[in-house]
Amino acid sequence: MSVTGPISHPKNLNPTAPEFLPSTNPNPFPFLIPTRIYLPLPPPPPPPPPPYLSFCPLPPISMIPTRAVVLLQVPPNVTESSLKRDMERFGEVRGIQMERADEGIVTVHFYNLKHSQRAVNEIHDLHMQQQQEHFTTATARGLISGRLVWAQFVFPNLKAVREGNNQGSLVILNLEPTVSSTTLRHIFQLYGEVKELRGTPSKREQRFVEFFDVRDAARALREMNDKVIAGKPILVQFSRPGGFTKKLFLASRYNKSFLFNHHSHSPPSLPRHHLRPPSQLMMKPDNQQLKYNNNYRKKPKRQMRQMQQMKKNRLDDRFIINEDAIATTGEFRDDRTTVMIKNIPNKYNQKLFLNMLDTHCNDSNQKIINQGNNMVMSSYDFVYLPIDFSNKCNVGYGFVNMTSPEAVLRLYKALHNQRWEIFNTRKICEVTYARLQGLESLKEHFKNLRIPRKEMEEYKPVFFSPPRDGELLPEPISVVDVVAKPVSDGDDSCHSRDGTVSDKKLERSDGCCLGERIENGGV
């Protein structure tokens, strides 16, 4: 029974008395209790970046020897004088770029191409000796302050050295075309050792002379400019070496997009204390990278197939038509002439295909004539439009061999990424280089192609002699013979036993059909 009425408290409290526990609810209004609000702690600061991590890309790596050599894993305490002393054991040094020495990256410029080649080769040999446990003493040539480094050719920075536009190559203008290369070599060898002498087919009054030593090139320029050869005064100027496109040669600043697009093979930036060649280096993935890899493995099959298809459709850089590579001169000029035209409307036949090419060549040549340019005319000497014989429709691509790289470039500019103006199609034309190059290679490749029936003769690969240019229209000459016999089981032909060709076979052929890896240049 609850106690009611006033409560009297004793005057004297007993400290040893038990705790008083009321029998009624001490808080009859619980909703008046203030709500506690918990504020989370601030997130921790991000971790510092790993040591020696460089976000700047390396100088653009060159696949051909140059006079500029980048050194990686250079000791941090190296000085310019000691570095020059170590590198001059290979030959005279023209200049040194030390702005990234604190990252272990230094670029050395030699006067002579042979000296830079010797430096790179011997430094690579030191790494081979290290791998074979036959490493020499700290005084071996190629070590920097007694430490092992890595060397690679790079495209020269024209602003890094004095007279950087002199890369050992000269262009000779207004030269009499009858002057032979042997005569020209004898004349310029008086000033130094000549590396190569090359010409331009479309400009017979222009030649290129490249010296091993840039000082010899400067001397030849001073002595030979305005001199008379074969009754004509010549003009001599500095030029870019063979294999250097204008875009690469004039690049004075390195940027990441250029590096990744053109030189993805260059080694990554590595800690300076790690003195092994890039081929031996292995990077330990962090937890985030491992997490990403695990997630990648867990992706569903459908997503994996989509990624594989995207990778398949990515065009190989080898088959992209580059204007700068065509415009350059010398042995590294891109002189390919066979192109693959993709996304052709399936109702397009050989007659329409030839008519389109004739119209293009005729229009291009008329522009050249009207402008009075001394340029190579556009013409072609080979055409093949593969056909699915089951429905007599083309399989979406064709092959054309133009007679010059200049004609290839004009065709590329006229058709690439353009919509076809026929059959109300939405297809966008794409023009790339083909895998096989040259008329003779194409004729050899297709000479054993099987055409099933006589009435299919119009679908054969054909060539033209003389080449066809829109005004001169010679009749097509078949590359293959029409055969009526079926293909045997052991034959590697693209055709089936009944003499027909299906789309599936065209797309998966290994050898004679053009559907082999269509996304990467066909043949």
Average pLDDT for 62-76: 88
Digit-coded pLDDT (tens) for 322-367: 887 888 776 667 889 999 999 998 888 888 899 999 999 999 988 8
If one compares 520 and 208, the residue with the highest pLDDT of the two is 208
Q: How many CB atoms lie within 10 A of CB 295?
A: 9
pLDDT for position 271: 38
In a domain, 4, yes or no: no
| Spatial separation of the C-alpha atoms in residues 20 and 7, rounded to whole Å | 14
Are 382 and 492 in a shared domain?
Answer: yes
pLDDT for position 485: 40
User: Can you read off the two tokens belonging to residue 116?
Assistant: 């830079």
DSSP 273-327: T--S-TTT--PPP-HHHHHHHHHHHTS-HHHHHHHHHHHHHSPPGGGS--HHHHH
User: Can you read off the two tokens belonging to residue 205?
Assistant: 């009054």
Digit-coded pLDDT (tens) for 293-322: 444 444 455 556 555 555 555 456 778 888
Q: Give the rounded percent of residues in the chain with a pLDDT score beyond 70.
A: 66
Digit-coded pLDDT (tens) for 181-192: 888 999 999 999
Are 322 and 453 in a shared domain?
Answer: yes
pLDDT for position 289: 43
Cis peptide bond upstream of 386, omega within 30 = no
- Inform me whether the pLDDT recorded for 267 exceeds 70: no
Q: How many CB atoms lie within 10 A of CB 72?
A: 22
Count of structural domains within the chain: 3
Evaluate the CA torsion angle 131, 62, 410, 330 in order and state its sign: negative
- Inform me whether the pLDDT recorded for 127 exceeds 70: yes
Are 199 and 74 in a shared domain?
Answer: no
Q: Between 181-188 and 214-224, two packed helices, what is the crossing angle to 10 degrees?
A: 100
Q: Between 405-415 and 350-371, two packed helices, what is the crossing angle to 10 degrees?
A: 110
Q: CATH number of the domain that 405 lies in?
A: 3.30.70.330
Residue-number span of the structural domain to which 101 is assigned: 52-161+252-274
Are 386 and 424 in a shared domain?
Answer: yes
| Spatial separation of the C-alpha atoms in residues 513 and 386, rounded to whole Å | 9
In a domain, 2, yes or no: no
pLDDT tier, 210 (very low <50, low <70, confident <90, very high otherwise): very high
Are 200 and 220 in a shared domain?
Answer: yes
Cis peptide bond upstream of 15, omega within 30 = no
Are 131 and 212 in a shared domain?
Answer: no
Strands in 93-97's sheet, in edge-to-edge order, are 93-97, 105-110, 68-72, 150-153
If one compares 479 and 56, the residue with the highest pLDDT of the two is 479
pLDDT tier, 198 (very low <50, low <70, confident <90, very high otherwise): confident
Mean pLDDT of the residues in the chain:
74
DSSP 458-473: GGS-EEEEEEE-SSS-
Are 128 and 217 in a shared domain?
Answer: no
Q: Which residues contact 118 (CB under 8 A, 6 or more apart)?
A: 90, 91
Digit-coded pLDDT (tens) for 372-385: 877 889 999 999 99
- Inform me whether the pLDDT recorded for 64 exceeds 70: yes
Average pLDDT for 18-27: 67
Are 151 and 179 in a shared domain?
Answer: no
CA dist 278 to 65, 68, 281, Å? 19, 19, 5
Least confident of 232-236, 244-248, 463-467: 244-248
Q: Give the rounded percent of residues in the chain with a pLDDT score beyond 90.
A: 22
Three-state DSSP at 109 gives strand
In a domain, 3, yes or no: no
Evaluate whether 407 touches 380 at the Cβ level (below 8 Å): yes
Geometric angle at alpha carbon 117, from 111 and 121, rounded to 5°: 145
In a domain, 36, yes or no: no
Tell me which DSSP letter residue 446 carries: H
Tell me which DSSP letter residue 453 carries: S
In a domain, 459, yes or no: yes
Are 190 and 322 in a shared domain?
Answer: no
pLDDT for position 30: 57
Average pLDDT for 394-407: 92
| Spatial separation of the C-alpha atoms in residues 77 and 273, rounded to whole Å | 12
- Inform me whether the pLDDT recorded for 387 exceeds 80: yes
pLDDT tier, 35 (very low <50, low <70, confident <90, very high otherwise): low
Average pLDDT for 62-88: 89
Q: Which residues contact 497 (CB under 8 A, 6 or more apart)?
A: 486, 487, 489
In a domain, 18, yes or no: no
Evaluate whether 461 touches 479 at the Cβ level (below 8 Å): yes
Q: How many CB atoms lie within 10 A of CB 132?
A: 8
User: Can you read off the two tokens belonging to residue 522?
Assistant: 């066909």
If one compares 333 and 402, the residue with the highest pLDDT of the two is 402
In a domain, 402, yes or no: yes
pLDDT for position 137: 56
pLDDT for position 455: 56
> What backbone phi and psi angles, to 5 degrees, belong to 440?
-65, -40
Are 388 and 494 in a shared domain?
Answer: yes
- Inform me whether the pLDDT recorded for 197 exceeds 60: yes
Say how many residues make up the chain. Answer: 523
pLDDT for position 219: 94
Q: Which residues contact 278 (CB under 8 A, 6 or more apart)?
A: 72, 150, 267, 268, 270
- Inform me whether the pLDDT recorded for 68 exceeds 50: yes
Evaluate whether 272 touches 72 at the Cβ level (below 8 Å): no
pLDDT for position 253: 39
Average pLDDT for 110-132: 85
Q: How many CB atoms lie within 10 A of CB 296?
A: 11
| Spatial separation of the C-alpha atoms in residues 452 and 486, rounded to whole Å | 7
Residues facing 462 on adjacent strands: 383, 478
- Inform me whether the pLDDT recorded for 483 exceeds 50: no
Residues facing 68 on adjacent strands: 109
Q: State the burial class of residue 482 (Cβ atoms within 10 Å of its Cβ: 0-12, 13-18, 19+).
A: middle
DSSP 43-76: PPPPPPPPTT---SPPPPB-SS--SEEEEES--T
| Spatial separation of the C-alpha atoms in residues 514 and 517, rounded to whole Å | 8
CA dist 398 to 134, 340, 354, 383, 434, Å? 56, 6, 11, 7, 10
pLDDT for position 498: 37
pLDDT for position 169: 92
Are 95 and 191 in a shared domain?
Answer: no
User: Can you read off the two tokens belonging to residue 140?
Assistant: 């071996």
Evaluate whether 223 touches 191 at the Cβ level (below 8 Å): yes
pLDDT for position 516: 39
In a domain, 326, yes or no: yes
Are 256 and 194 in a shared domain?
Answer: no
Digit-coded pLDDT (tens) for 409-442: 999 999 988 888 777 788 889 999 998 888 988 9
